[in-house]
Amino acid sequence: TQLLEQSPQFLSIQEGENLTVYCNSSSVFSSLQWYRQEPGEGPVLLVTVVTGGEVKKLKRLTFQFGDARKDSSLHITAAQPGDTGLYLCAGAGEDYKLSFGAGTTVTVRA
């Protein structure tokens, strides 16, 4: 099992502020996914990054895959209360199974 560490564990910010969540590992991944999970529901895929150095933007969310394919970050610009949730990163290694990080709980206060 490849260990993925997410930081911070908890993040509480005011509406309109920016935030960054990190996902780090000592292992190389063939791809990395970010999911968001709301209370009482299953995770929902936000993005998959595949190439080292890749940057993907989805509206106010920016995802980056490290050059060495060992780490990733999620940046949210001008956060809104609807961004509140648990953000999980998951990496795919040599086999095709995913390893999940423990998650970052983001709370955006109105």
Residues near other proteins (CB under 8 A)? 1, 4, 9, 29-31, 33, 40-45, 48, 50, 88, 90-92, 96-98, 100-103
- Measured from the CB atom, the residue of 40 and 82 that comes closer to other proteins is 40
- Measured from the CB atom, the residue of 76 and 90 that comes closer to other proteins is 90
- DSSP assignment string, 3-36: --EEE-SEEEEETT--EEEEEE-SS--SEEEEEE
Q: Least CB distance from residue 15 to other proteins, whole Å? A: 26
**CA max distance for the chain:** 42
4, 100 Cβ separation under 8 angstroms? yes
Q: Least CB distance from residue 34 to other proteins, whole Å? A: 12
Q: Least CB distance from residue 48 to other proteins, whole Å? A: 5
